[in-house]
Structure formats: structure tokens, C-alpha cells
Amino acid sequence: MKKTTGTRFCFFSFLFFFLLLASTKDFAQNRKLDSLRQLLAHSKSDTVSSKYLWRIGRFYFEQKNDHDSALLFLSQGYALAARHDFLFGMWINLGEQCLVYQRNGNYQKALQLYLDFLKYCEEKKEISVRARVLNFISDLYIRLEDYSQAISYAQKNTPIIIESQIGGSWLMGNLYNIGICFIHLNQPDSALAYFQQGFAWISQHKPDRGGPDRILIGLGMANAGLGNHTIAMAYFEEAIRNEKEFNTDVLYLAYLQKAELLQKLNQTDSSATYYEYALQTIAGNYKDRALIYKALANIYLAKDPVRSVKYFVLEQKLTDSLFASDKINAIRALTYNEQERQKELVNKAREEAEEHKKNIENISITIGIIGFLTLFLLLSRTIIVNGKWIRFLGVMGLLVLFEFINLLLHPLVGTLTHHSSVYMLLIMVGIAALLVPLHHKIEKWVTNKMIEKNKRIRIAAARRTIAQLEKDAPSSHSETN
């Protein structure tokens, strides 16, 4: 009787503390949400409000797992940012929406939104946001198992990340994406090179958790593919230790890779345990969830057929949902259309480069003609030039020279200023401010030279006239006599 009473007391005590902990967590979450709502209510700027809406939408997505509310707030945030053409605010809200769609397995919708926004960024010539979009597109193609497309986007993104200077964590994520693709393409030696580049960056900059542990997992996967199982296991266990406190997507990935390695080493019981851990910590990523279901079904096939059938059914339903033929065809169509659009952009860039080259050549010829004409008039010993012609040629030369400098420096100035109209205008005004005084000095010098030359021509002509008159004077006198 005493034992039963003690057992009940322990049970109800545990239940009380569990409910207390749950209510405390809910209270903390609601308090944070209320704080964000208050900030949104008192915000006086649409651009700032778009950021608060993103934070609220992200809170509903990650903390409350309420995807409908998340999409509602994120769409409102995107609309506010778009009203003021606030590109970064548009991106954070749209990118979070795409993550919601991905977690629900709607890869087609996410890819469509990514590609449309990439086109918008290219039209705006904004590279810092474009680098982020390209990184997310590469990651999505990895989930779609289209590794050649994933590598293509990641490699195209590398110089953009460096040029935009958005931070080394994005470069590290880009290296991770390329390495993972080579893992799936069964090229662990190529993958190892990219993961080692990421690890070198980590060692130098000491970034926060998450990204570095992905690189550790990647190093483990590459070493596992090369047969270095002990080294691989050490990397997986280190990533698990680092991420266990936070229960992130990185943690499930570490559990999953350790489970796969244990299964490869025929340690099926331990492998099943870590597959179960991965299943408990995974949030979304239906492709990996289906992989876990399939692995557990195969492990339990001999010793627990009922459980095995359960996992096979779950895996089949998820696979049918993810890789239905209509979804695959839609994604292929999106990919093809984007490839064609990128080809058109390349051709357009090539044509613009050719036209730019021709414009520089034509203006160079014009400068040469004006310079030659001015030099000819300056050195000519017989032509008297009006000052108005000098001023006209000087103005024409100044305009043509300014246009030549503008054409020559425009690509460099655009890169330095990230195509900011204000900064580009200020640089051009600065160049004009240097050219105008120089033009006046040259014009004054040329005018003085022309005046001196005209005087010499007139004096020479007068002398010839006087000489001719003196020569003609005796003959006229003799005829008179």
C-alpha cells in the first residue's frame, strides 16, 4: 500500500512539474510574441514594420509550428517592403515563406518564388541579396537531387558572394553545398577539398554554431566515402556534442550521418537508435524523413516485421507526395525556363559588351579627328582661324572626351558603387569638375597660340604685299617718264 502511494505521489509530482515547465515555456513564447506585436504597433516606418512582420512570421514558423499564420504575416511584410522597393525587406519575408513551403514539401512553389525574385534582383542590379537567393536556390536543388544544377548555381554564386562582401558565413554555406553535391555524386575526394576550404575559413574566423558544424558533418561524410571511418565518426560525434543543446536541423543531420555510417559498419542496433534520434529532431526536409523511414523499415524487416511495414508505408506515402510526376514535370519546366532566361542574359551581356566596345572605338575616332583638326589649324602657316571655331572645337572636344571617360569607366564605377545612381552621379560630377578647368586652360593656351600664329601670318602677308609694292613701284615710275 505504501509502495502504491509512493508511486502515485512520484507520478503526480512528475506530471505537475511537466505541466509547470510546459506552461512556463508557453508563457515565455507568448510574452516574446506580445513584445513583437507591440513593436509592430508602434512602428512609424513601413520598412521597419516589414522587419517586425518577418520576425513575427518566423516566430510562428519556428516556435509555434503554425505555418498558416507564418505565411500570413510574412506575406504582409513582403507587401510593405515592396511598397517602398525595400529589397532586403522583400527578401527576408519571401525567403522565409519559401522555407515554409519547403518544410511542407511544396518545392515547386518555393522554386518559382526564388527564380522570380532572382530575376527581380538582376533587373535591380543588386548583388548582396542576389547572392543570398542563389545560395537558397542551390540548397533547394540539392533537396530535389538535381546536383548538377545545385553545383552550377553555387559556383556562379562564389564570385558574387566575394564581390558583395555579405559575410564569410555565406561563402562557407556555398562551399558546403558544392561539397554535398559531390558527396551525392560519389566523388568524396572532390567534396573533401571544398569542405577543407570551409574548415580553413572556420579556423581563421571562429563563427557561431550551425554553419561550422555543417562543415564538420561534411568532412565526416567525405572521410566516410574515402573509407576513413574512425575519422568520420569523430567528426559526427563532435557535431552532435556542439548542437545537442540547441536541437537544430544540423543536429538531425549529424544523427542521420552517424546512423548511416553505423549501418555501413553492420552495427544495426546502434544504427536504428540514431535513425530514431534523427527522426525525433528533424523539422521538415521530407526527403531525408523518407530516407530515414526506408532505412528503419529495412533494419526492422527481420526482427520486427510489423514495425517494418509501418515505416515502409510512411516512406511510400511521403515519396509519392514528394515525387509525383506532375510536380517533377513542373519543376523541370521551371528549371528549363530559367536556363533559357540565363542564356538570354549571357547573350544580352555579350551584345552589350560588343556595343560598348564599338562606342568606345567610335568616340576614340571622333577624339582623334577633333585633335587632328585642332593640331592642323594650330600648325598651319597659311590658314587664319576665327576664335569662335576654337571655342566650338574646344566644347565639342570636351563633350566627346567626357563621354569617352564615362564609357570607359562605367563598368568599374558600377561595380564599385553597386550601381547606385547617386554615387555614380557624384563620381561623374567629380570627373567633370576636373575636366572643365583643364579644358579652359587648354582652350586658353590654344587660343593664344592661334592668335600668335594669325599675327605671324598677317605680318608675313603684309611683308609680301609691301615687297610686291616696292617691286612694282620702279616699273610704274619708268612708265610714267
CB 231 within 8 A of CB 223: yes
Confidence label for 21 from pLDDT (cuts 50, 70 and 90): very low
Q: How far apart are CA 299 and CA 292, in angstroms?
A: 11
User: Is 244 a domain residue?
Assistant: no
Considering only CA atoms, which of 392, 377, 371 is closest in space to residue 451? 377
Phi, psi of 233 (to 5 degrees): -60, -35
Does the residue 378 lie in any domain?
A: yes
Give domain status of residue 363, yes or no. yes
Residues 6+ apart with CB under 8 A from 292: 256, 259, 275, 278, 279, 282
SS3 content of the chain, % helix, strand, coil (to 5): 85, 0, 15
Q: Which residue has the cell 537544430?
A: 248
pLDDT category at 477 given cuts 50, 70, 90 is low
Question: Of the given ranges (66-80, 181-195, 240-254), which has the lowest mean pLDDT?
Answer: 240-254
In a domain, 375, yes or no: yes
Q: How many domains does the chain have?
A: 1
Q: Are 73 and 61 in contact (CB under 8 A)?
A: no
Average pLDDT over residues 358-374: 67
The owner of cell 543543446 is 245
- Reported residue count of the chain is 481
Task: Look at residue 324 and give its three-state secondary structure.
Answer: coil
- Alpha-carbon gap, residue 77 to 114, rounded angstroms: 17
Residues 247-252, mean pLDDT to the nearest whole number = 78
**Could you tell me the residue range of the domain that residue 389 belongs to?**
354-468
- Tell whether 310 is covered by a domain: no
Q: What is the DSSP letter of 209?
A: S
Q: What is the pTM of this model?
A: 0.67
User: What is the dihedral sign for C-alpha 151, 152, 153, 158?
Assistant: positive
Give the list of residues 6+ apart from residue 381 with CB closer than 8 angstroms, or none. 453, 456, 457
In a domain, 324, yes or no: no
Q: What is the pLDDT of residues 396-427, one digit of tens each?
A: 666 766 676 776 677 677 667 666 677 777 77
Residue given cell 512556463 in the structure block: 24
